[in-house]
């Protein structure tokens, strides 16, 4: 495993791999790796000649009142995980390396962002697609791996790849969960023991919504209300949103008549947790979870 901090060096490695007809798998991360990231790395290792992981906490995707400075970081831990998962190159540029001067050009998402997390995080996904455009040009991957815990992000990246004709296959990887059902997340470290016990009911609430669809319920408002009441009954968390939309287009819908996502975000004292289920019209999981 080699640690790369220079864009120029990473580009040379990628171009050399291309010349040798070696496929590159890419896992972009913000570090503080957990089992969810490991699942992405394992899929990337299995499907490509070369596996590249980036670690970059991207300031462009953090709002003025968000947790850029306190976002958890642990390089040594991340390097150990990367070695364990047989990563070939860890690309870990500084902010100054990625943005040596203020950007002259940034990207602005027009669709798939005015719902779910995007509604309350103006500009967040603009920052995501801007940094991913840079990373895709630097790393030149054939395949890029993203976890479905942040399903809106996957939908946004899907639009980026389609609209700009990146020759990249996006590989969605199912949410990795703790035995309780709680989705693995770097932000789980901010939960108290009591909050972590309650947080498992977020996933159970989603399953309640799924069961309604499987049993023939098609009305969005009724499904959402059931999920909301379940969360309120079992947790002291403050609900940011519960929504049901088409997927991956993330359009409003009143009746379940195609692939949909049920997504939630819940605030605890020091953490905001998100989770979702992506379901076919009959309520079956699109991706195993």
Spatial distance between the Cα atoms of 266 and 75, rounded to a whole number of angstroms: 28
Catalytic residues: 37
Q: Is the pLDDT of residue 67 over 80?
A: no
Give yes or no: residues 153 and 192 share one domain.
no
Mean pLDDT of all residues in 146-161: 96
Mean pLDDT, rounded, of the chain:
94
Give alpha helix (H) positions in the chain.
7-19, 35-47, 75-84, 95-98, 116-120, 124-139, 151-163, 193-214, 220-234
Task: Give the pLDDT of residue 106.
Answer: 85
Q: Is the pLDDT of residue 73 over 90?
A: no
Task: Give the pLDDT of residue 289.
Answer: 47
* Domain interval for residue 226: 186-279
The larger pLDDT score, comparing residue 98 to residue 62, is at: 98
Give binding residues as ranges: 30-37, 61, 147-150, 153, 176, 184-187
Give binding residues for ATP as ranges: 30-37, 147-150, 176, 184-187
Task: Give the pLDDT of residue 262.
Answer: 98
Whether the CB-CB separation of 3 and 28 falls below 8 Å is answered with no
**% of the chain with per-residue pLDDT over 90:** 86
What DSSP string describes 129-170? HHHHHHHHHHH--SEEEEEGGGHHHHHHHHHHHHHTT---EE
Q: Is the pLDDT of residue 107 over 80?
A: yes
Q: Find the helix or strand (DSSP H, E) in which 276 lies.
A: strand 272-279
CATH number at residue 190: 3.30.1300.10
Mean pLDDT of all residues in 245-267: 97
Spatial distance between the Cα atoms of 127 and 232, rounded to a whole number of angstroms: 33
Res. 62 pLDDT band, cuts 50 70 90 = confident
Give yes or no: residues 24 and 139 share one domain.
yes
Q: Is the pLDDT of residue 209 over 90?
A: yes
Give yes or no: residues 224 and 166 share one domain.
no
Give yes or no: residues 156 and 211 share one domain.
no
Task: Give the pLDDT of residue 288.
Answer: 62
Give yes or no: residues 195 and 167 share one domain.
no
Query: Is the overall model pTM greater than 0.95, yes or no?
Result: no
In-domain check, residue 181: no
Task: Give the pLDDT of residue 148.
Answer: 95
Task: Give the pLDDT of residue 71.
Answer: 80
Per the structure, how many domains does the chain have?
2
- What are the tens digits of pLDDT across the range 123-137? 889 999 999 999 999
In-domain check, residue 161: yes
In-domain check, residue 284: no
- What are the tens digits of pLDDT across the range 15-35? 999 999 999 999 999 998 988
CATH number at residue 132: 3.40.50.620
Mean pLDDT of all residues in 198-211: 97
Give yes or no: residues 27 and 106 share one domain.
yes
Q: Is the pLDDT of residue 160 over 60?
A: yes
In-domain check, residue 271: yes
Give yes or no: residues 125 and 197 share one domain.
no
């Amino acid at each position: 495993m080699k640690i790369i901090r220079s864009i120029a060096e990473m580009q040379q490695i990628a171009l050399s791999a291309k010349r040798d007809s070696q496929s590159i798998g890419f896992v972009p991360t913000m570090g503080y790796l957990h089992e969810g990231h490991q699942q992405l790395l394992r899929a990337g290792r299995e499907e490509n000649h070369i596996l590249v992981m980036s670690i970059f906490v991207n300031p462009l995707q953090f709002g003025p009142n968000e947790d850029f400075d306190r976002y958890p970081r642990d390089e040594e831990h991340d390097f150990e995980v990367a070695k364990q998962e047989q990563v070939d190159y860890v690309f870990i540029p500084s902010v100054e390396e990625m943005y040596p001067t203020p950007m002259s050009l940034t990207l602005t998402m027009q669709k798939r962002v005015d719902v779910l997390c995007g509604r309350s995080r103006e500009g967040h996904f603009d920052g995501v697609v801007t940094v991913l455009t840079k990373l895709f040009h630097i790393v030149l991957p054939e395949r890029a791996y993203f976890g479905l815990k942040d399903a809106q992000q996957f939908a946004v990246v899907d639009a980026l790849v389609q609209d700009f004709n990146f020759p990249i296959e996006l590989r969605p990887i199912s949410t990795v969960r703790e035995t309780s059902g709680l989705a693995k997340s770097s932000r789980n470290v901010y939960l108290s023991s009591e909050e972590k016990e309650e947080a498992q009911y977020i996933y159970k609430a989603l399953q309640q919504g799924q069961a309604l669809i499987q049993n023939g319920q098609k009305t969005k408002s009724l499904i959402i209300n059931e999920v909301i009441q379940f969360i309120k009954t079992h947790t002291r968390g403050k609900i940011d949103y519960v929504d049901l939309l088409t997927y991956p287009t993330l359009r409003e819908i009143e009746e379940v008549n195609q692939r949909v996502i049920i997504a939630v975000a819940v605030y605890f004292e020091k953490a905001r947790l998100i989770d979702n289920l992506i379901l076919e019209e009959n309520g079956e999981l699109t991706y195993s979870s």
